Structure 1
Amino acid sequence: MIKKALFVRLEARPGKEQAVADFLDAGLEMTNREATTPIWFALKLSPTTFGVFDAFASEEDRQAHLAGDMANSLMARVEQMLASPPSVELIDVLAMKNKLA
């Protein structure tokens, strides 16, 4: 059962919008290798603002993701791609519906 989540907001440096979008696209492969990250979305919120929403069964799973390849890869590129450090919000999931259309 999904109990924990993250929302990460990413603001691209001017001219780096496509680099952020490409990084997030590649992030799908990284998160697919994480057995404890069952839900992951890469989002475009505006022309320069991007986000990631992911959800987990436990706090341990969330922490494993925060210490994993995707997070480490992002942090290694902050200066290059982002106007400011990522904003990370820890979320408790109260209820969830997951039904494919």
Structure 2
Amino acid sequence: MLKVALLARLEAKPGKEADVEALLKGALSLADAESQTPVWFAIKLGPSSFGIFDAFADESGRTAHLNGQIAAALMAKAPELLAKPPQIDKVDVLAAKVSG
């Protein structure tokens, strides 16, 4: 059961929108490799606004993800690609439906 999640909001610098989109699309293989990350979405909210939503069974999964390769890659590229630091919120999952 999914209990905790992360919601990250990203705002691309002008002219860097395609680079942020490519970074997020490329991160899917890293998310697939994380055994404690059963749900991971990269989303586009607007022309220069993006997000990541991922959910976990428990706090250990969320912590592992925050210390993982996706977060490291995002933080390494943030000064180059983002207009401001990512806003990352720890949130609780109240209800979920995930099916293939």
Q: Could you tell me how far 1:97 is from its partner in structure 2?
A: 1.3
What secondary structure sits across from 1:15 in the alignment? coil
How far apart, in 1, do the equivalents of 2:3 and 2:42 lie?
20
Corresponding residue number in structure 2 for 1:69:
69
Runs of 4+ residues over 2 Å off in structure 1: none
Query: SS where residue 5 of structure 2 aligns?
Result: strand
Residue ranges of structure 2 left out of the alignment (5+ in a row): none
**Aligned-pair identity (%):** 50
Structure 1 segment 29-44 matched on structure 2, within 5 A: 29-44=29-44
Give the CA deviation at 1:59.
0.5
1:83 is aligned with what amino acid? Answer: A
- Structure 1 runs not aligned, ≥5 long: none
Tell me the equivalent position of 1:98: 98
TM, length-normalised to structure 1: 0.96
Corresponding residue of 2:8:
8
Count of residues in Structure 1 that have an aligned counterpart in Structure 2: 100
